[in-house]
Chains A and B, each alone.
Chain A
Amino acid sequence: MINEESVFYSRVLTETTLTFHIIYATLGVGVPLMIMIAQWVGIKKNDEHYILLARRWTRGFVITVAVGVVTGTAIGLQLSLLWPNFMELAGHIIALPLFMETFAFFFEAIFLGIYLYTWDRFENQKKHLLLLVPVAIGGSFSAVFITIVNSFMNSPQGFDLVDGKLTNVNPLLAMFNPAMPTKVTHVVVTAYMTAAFVLASIAAFRMLTGSKHVYHKKALFFTMKLGLIFSIATAVIGDFSGKFLAEYQPEKLAAAEWHFETHGEAPLIMWGMLDENNDIKYAIHIPFALSILAHWLPGAVVTGLDQFPEDEIPPLYIHYLFDTMVTIGMGLVVLSLIYWIGVKRGWAFIHSKFFLVLSVLSGPLSMLAIEAGWWLAEVGRQPWILRGIMRTSEAATTNNQVDLMLMLFCGLYIILGIGTIVVMSRMFKRNPVEQELKDREMEKGGVQK
């Protein structure tokens, strides 16, 4: 029995929760690593500015983590509340990484608490830095385990279905499914990349609004350099993700690429429009690129949508999600590369207002790319919740009150979102970095006297 209305609202509520949660989750995975590197550089170079960078990031990070805990608990419960039939099936096969995730989360929460409340309790700064290692590891491993669950939804294995009954369940085989390597690395590395660019935006924003302090210059150079490294890594892994899709989820790649007919020497189509006959207009064609993306070779045959029954094809608008993600990703590689070369070569151009505006945009844009990526991953799997095994419509709850809950949660997310922005901007405005640097010097001076 399927309750159409519940299916629809369950989808909308899950999309809303994920869209909101992923902002906090991404920062939660990426920012601790940035703090760790900054504090390490600060200790090594004996540079007060990097230490302060770490301290100020931590203060902001705590707030995003706290909201992330709330939204994470919400999505964790909503999985069972909105998709009970899916969770009943999934519980049998893929519960292991979900369970492991709680341990990673436990680990992270414990050490974050300790790290936060012990800033000045250690004589040796290095010992304090060590406390951050489990936080960063815990955060990254949370992402690893949850993404394993998601990769299982895309390429389920590790069990047999005989007359609707599950047999031969192998939890490890389910975890190490074909989608897992590319998906996990992609999620983790893009989180690092996004965190780097978000922090770069903040530094660029302060410079743009008139602060001449060398602190912000150091912060921008530091984060842009990390952003460059992680965005190149993202591009490489993205290429492997394409090859995974071509092999195991060809309908997702074909829909994202508007690749209707199976043929070789396939071009990569960027942007453009579809007319009523599904002809592509105004698009940029990059010759052979899709064949290379899918199978390494310019002549390789790429499976098109003609190979799939109509009711198993994902919606075609995912093409734009794919394009958004790729365009932003590539743009950020170029932006951070120009900046890095510019600093090395002493180009004046990178200190111009125009370039700073672009740098401010890098954070919001990379977050947009994360959103587009997750929408692509989730919408591109439709109509399946568990590819080839269970349809989304069969998985949803039959409860009639989902629409009410949707409104309730929308209200909650709006309040949490506004609250985050207000509290963070108030916190940093009241205590600008120039002031804090002065205060810290005074404190030290006081001790010496």
Chain B
Amino acid sequence: MNLEIIGISVLWTFLFGYIMIGSIDFGASFFNAYSLIVEKQHILTKIIQRYLSPVWEVTNVFLVFFFVGIIGFFPKTAFYYGTTLLVPISIGVILLAVRGSYYAFETYGARGHKGYALLYGLSGLLLPASLSIVLTISEGGFITMENGAPVLNYWILFTEPLTWAVVLLSVTAVLYISATFLTWYANQAGDSEATRLMRKYALLWAFPLIITAAGIIVELRGHNPDHYEKLMSLWWMFALSFILFLLTVWFLWKKRNYGSAFILLVIQFALAFFGYGISHYPYLLYPHLTLYDSFTNNAMAISLIVAFILGFCLLVPSLYLLLKLFLFNKQYVSGK
């Protein structure tokens, strides 16, 4: 294993971490807003706030970790992605600001503005949509070089079916992941009404999820045949992922083992996410940038990895403490 692979594996793992815990956060805010509209908020708001408020800043750090890390390990990405993504990422930052300020102003301060909660819920869908555009762009075909500088072609991007397939997948995935997690969390809290509602949402979004996921594979075949070929050679990862998906749905259907259902879901997404990542190798941006021609020098790579290992030793016990207090502590979860 070379340094390039170690670097991208670390980053990809953290991105996966962000996608999972971020999805829980995004989806929860949407369900919260939706329940406000249909006047069911008494069922959900409490559960959501007990879990989300203490951890949202940690969620955000996963994202920061990823983008700081990718500049560290692969500095050339700053040139290609930094130049072209100005608008999409700035919009992402604004959406992040809506979410952060909701926590700051509504839950810590005086709460209760309905419009704000709706905006916050909406940002839960728009943020994954705007961030997922980056994955679409990485497939190539949207960035051209003009006078030696990369330029993003918005017209091609927004008329490309793949773009919308990815956006749809990101939204359905967020809702499905979040609903499944909250089913388990509400069940832990002994709140049967919330459990029933979240289970319903989870089952509702399971089917659209698998349809949009399959849709992406079809669209990719047309857009980037090279990547599609490599994806297909890893068919077993996706097949396994699909089986786990069926198991999760089955548990949800049978109203049992919500905890295992969520763990299976995490593995399901991990398989699909890493399958996608591995088949993307060696490109960071088709066809301009690979892992190898964007990699930093050896001295920096080694010191980053050393810093990562040291940091990780600090992080794991602290994260464990956080989860122990807020996720696995029955008294806290049930609001005592």
Contact in complex: B72, A91 (CB < 8 Å) = yes
Q: Counting chain A CB atoms within 10 Å of each CB, which of B85, B149, B299 scores highest? A: B299
Known: A95-B72, A96-B303, A102-B64. A73 touches B93 (CB 8 A): yes
CA distance A169 to B325 in the complex (A): 43
| A101 at interface by CB-CB < 8 Å | yes
Rounded to whole angstroms, the CA-CA distance of A107 and B85 in the bound complex is 29
The reply to whether A66 and B61 contact each other, CB–CB distance below 8 Å, is no
How many Å from the CB of B94 to the closest CB on chain A? 6
> Main SS of chain B's interface residues?
helix
Quick one: CB contact mask for B40-81 with A, threshold 8 Å, 1 for yes?
000000000000011101101101110111011111101101
How many A residues face the partner with a CB closer than 8 A? 72
A408 to B86, CA, bound (A): 12
Q: A95-B72, A409-B90 are in contact. Are A73 and B110 (CB under 8 A)?
A: no
Complex contacts, A397 vs chain B, CB 8 Å: 82-83, 86
- Selecting from B173-181, B263-271, B308-316, the interface stretch reads B308-316
Contact partners of A415 in chain B: CB under 8 A = 101
- Contacts A66-B100, A109-B57, A419-B105; is A95 near B84 (CB within 8 Å)? no
A74 within 8 A of B: yes
Q: Binding site of A, secondary structure by majority: helix, strand, loop or mixed?
A: helix
From A95, A399, A420, A427, name the one whose CB has the most chain B CB atoms within 10 angstroms: A95
B58 touches A423 (CB 8 A): no
When distances are taken between beta carbons in the complex, the residues of chain A under 8 Å from B83 are 84, 397-399
Q: Does chain A have a CB within 8 A of B297?
A: yes
Q: Which residue of A lies closest to B147 (CB)?
A: A1
With an 8 A cutoff between CB atoms, is A268 at the interface? no
Instruction: Verify A66–B86 contact, CB threshold 8 A.
Output: no
Q: How far is the CB of B223 from chain A (nearest CB, A)?
A: 24
Nearest chain-B residue to A427 (Cβ)? B109
A89 at the interface (CB under 8 A from B): yes
Q: Does B307 contact A (CB under 8 A)?
A: yes
**Of the residues A62, A66, A69, A170, contact of B299 by C-beta under 8 Å:** A170
- Contact of A107 (CB < 8 Å), options: B63, B68, B314: B314
Is residue B237 within 8 Å, beta carbon to beta carbon, of the partner chain? no
A328-340 interface bits toward B, Cβ cutoff 8 Å, 1 = contact, 0 = none = 0000000000000
B303 x A101 contact (CB < 8 A): no
Q: Return the CB mask of A100-113 against B: 1 if under 8 Å, else 0.
A: 11110111011111
Query: Residue of B at shortest CB range from A103?
Result: B311
Q: Quick one: closest A residue to B62, CB to CB?
A: A106
User: How many chain B residues touch the partner (CB < 8 A)?
Assistant: 63
Report Cα–Cα, A91/B147, bound state, in Å. 23
Given the interface pairs A66-B108, A111-B318, A171-B300, the reply to whether A401 lies near B86 with Cβ below 8 Å is yes
Give the distance in Å from the alpha carbon of A101 to the alpha carbon of B147 in the complex.
Answer: 35
Cβ of A99 and Cβ of B69 under 8 Å apart? Answer: yes
Of the listed stretches A75-83, A226-234, A312-320, name the one at the interface; the rest are far from the partner chain.
Answer: A75-83
User: How far, in angstroms, from A83 to B75 measured CA to CA in the complex?
Assistant: 12
Q: Is the CB of A88 within 8 A of B101?
A: no
- Is A99 in contact with B325, judged by CB distance below 8 angstroms? no
Please determine whether B303 and A171 come into contact, CB atoms closer than 8 angstroms. Answer: yes
In the complex, B296 has a CB within 8 A of chain A: yes
The smallest C-beta distance from A111 to any residue of chain B, in angstroms, reads 7
Are B96 and A110 interface neighbours, CB within 8 A? no
Question: Known contacts A96-B72, A169-B299, A170-B299; is A81 also within 8 Å of B105 by CB?
Answer: no
| Closest chain A residue, CB of each to CB of B323 | A110
Question: Which of these binds chain B: A114-122, A245-253, A364-372?
Answer: A114-122
Interchain CA distance A399-B87 in the complex, whole Å: 9
Q: Are A96 and B304 touching (Cβ within 8 A)?
A: yes
- Point out the residue from A82, A95, A404 that lies within 8 Å of B71, measured CB to CB: A95
* Contact mask for chain B residues 276-305; partner A; CB cutoff 8 A; 1 contact, 0 none: 000000000000000000001101100110
When C-beta atoms are compared, the residue in chain B nearest to A85 turns out to be B79
Residues in B whose Cβ lies below 8 Å from that of A80: 67, 71, 78, 81-82
A415 to B, closest residue via Cβ: B101
Contacts A66-B100, A88-B79, A110-B58 given; does A99 touch B110 at CB 8 Å: no
Report B-chain residues with C-beta under 8 Å of the C-beta of A103: 307, 311, 314-315
Report if A22 contacts B (CB, 8 A).
no
Min CB–CB distance A96 → chain B (angstroms): 5
Interface residues of B in 170-193 (CB under 8 A from A): none
If A77-B93, A85-B79, A114-B322 touch, whether A109 touches B72 (CB-CB below 8 Å) is: no
Q: Is the CB of A81 within 8 A of B90?
A: yes
Cα distance A69–B332 in the bound complex, in angstroms: 26
Residues of B within 8 A of A427 (CB): 109-110
Contact B318 A134 (CB under 8 A): yes
What is the CB-to-nearest-CB distance from B69 to chain A, in angstroms, rounded to a whole number? 6
List chain B residues, Cβ under 8 A from A99: 68-69, 72, 304, 307-308
Do B68 and A101 touch (CB < 8 A)? yes
Q: Is B89 an interface residue (CB 8 A)?
A: yes
| CA of A117 to CA of B79, assembled, Å | 42
Q: Is A281 an interface residue (CB 8 A)?
A: no
Report B-chain residues with C-beta under 8 Å of the C-beta of A345.
none
CA distance A426 to B148 in the complex (A): 53
Per the bound structure, the CA–CA distance linking A109 and B315 in Å amounts to 11
Which of B65, B69, B96 is the one whose CB lies under 8 Å from A106? B65
Contact of B325 among A109, A114, A420 (CB under 8 A): A114
B interface with A by C-beta (< 8 Å):
53-55, 57-58, 60-61, 63-65, 67-69, 71-76, 78-79, 81-87, 89-90, 93-94, 96-97, 100-101, 103-105, 108-110, 147-149, 296-297, 299-300, 303-304, 307-308, 311, 314-315, 318-319, 321-322, 325-326, 332
Going nearest first, the 8 A-B pairs with the smallest beta carbon separation are A91-B75, A66-B104, A95-B72, A84-B82, A103-B311, A87-B78, A423-B109, A70-B100
Given A99-B308, A107-B315, A408-B94, 16 other A-B residues pairs in contact with their CB atoms under 8 A? A66-B104, A67-B101, A69-B57, A74-B97, A81-B82, A81-B89, A85-B79, A87-B75, A91-B72, A96-B304, A98-B68, A102-B61, A102-B64, A112-B57, A117-B54, A419-B104
Can you list 29 contacts pairing A with B, beta carbon distance less than 8 Å?
A66-B57, A67-B100, A70-B97, A72-B64, A76-B68, A77-B90, A80-B71, A83-B82, A84-B79, A87-B75, A88-B82, A91-B296, A92-B297, A95-B68, A99-B69, A99-B72, A99-B304, A101-B68, A102-B64, A107-B314, A109-B57, A110-B319, A114-B54, A117-B53, A117-B325, A169-B299, A398-B149, A401-B87, A416-B101
